[in-house]
Amino acid sequence: SESAPAAQGIAQELTDRLADGREMWNTYGPTEATVVASAARLHPGKPVTIGWPLDGWDLAIASDSEGEQGELIIGGVGLARYLDPDKDAEKYAPMGDWERAYRTGDHVRLTEDGLAFIGRVDDQVKIGGRRIELGEVEANVAALDGVYNSAVAVQTLPAGDKVLVGYVSTEGNVEDF
């Protein structure tokens, strides 16, 4: 997936080019929120953010400092539910006064224009619209017979497509693998 600064630059360029005289909005909501949880009206020359919570939603920043930068937490009426109660309890845990909250894994910063997306707090990437946990892929590759170590990375092909590439250290000769 694109880095947050690169994606921010693209979003800013599009806003500056297209929003003049048009009403444009940036909305945010992971699948676990079922619908958008926040929104910001876009204006040329103003930073692109994910905005402020919409009615019925609560947003908080989990951080070790003053709470102005950290992982985005969502609570509110539209949080999804898993059919499996154990999975649901794992993904939607109580937090503070909230009965259910979802840790998004998205790193945000509080600004005067709304919450600014900085990147991920984990090693999750998106390729072709699918979420991929690099650590999980590495662990599964390393668990293959004959492999004692692995690494996984996102590479960009000359045409611009993103692909997942795995690197392995094998036990013995490569031909035996």
Per-residue pLDDT, 162? 86
Of residues 174 and 56, the one with the higher pLDDT is: 56
* Average pLDDT across the chain, whole number: 85
Extract the tokens encoding 60: 């908080």
Q: Are 75 and 56 spatial neighbours (Cβ–Cβ below 8 Å)?
A: no
Q: Please provide residue 151's backbone torsions phi and psi, each rounded to the nearest 5 degrees.
A: -145, 145
Q: Are 122 and 105 spatial neighbours (Cβ–Cβ below 8 Å)?
A: yes
Mean pLDDT of all residues in 149-176: 83
Residue 54's nearest CA partner among 70, 41, 67, 69 is 41
CA dihedral 153, 158, 159, 165 (to 10 degrees): -20
Per-residue pLDDT, 71? 92
Confidence at 8, pLDDT banded by 50, 70, 90: low
Per-residue pLDDT, 1? 38
pLDDT digits (tens, 9 = 90+) for 91-118: 898 888 898 999 998 999 999 999 999 8
Tokens 């204006």 sit at which residue?
43
Residue type, 170: T
pTM of the predicted model, to two decimals?
A: 0.71
* Secondary structure class of 34 (helix, strand, coil): coil
Confidence at 169, pLDDT banded by 50, 70, 90: confident
Phi-psi region of 69 (alpha: psi -120 to 50; beta: other; left: phi over 0): beta
Per-residue pLDDT, 78? 86
* Integer Cα distance of 106 and 47 in angstroms: 18
32 contacts: CB under 8 Å, gap ≥ 6: 74, 79, 80, 91, 92, 102, 104
Per-residue pLDDT, 171? 79
Q: Are 54 and 38 spatial neighbours (Cβ–Cβ below 8 Å)?
A: yes
Q: Are 152 and 137 spatial neighbours (Cβ–Cβ below 8 Å)?
A: yes
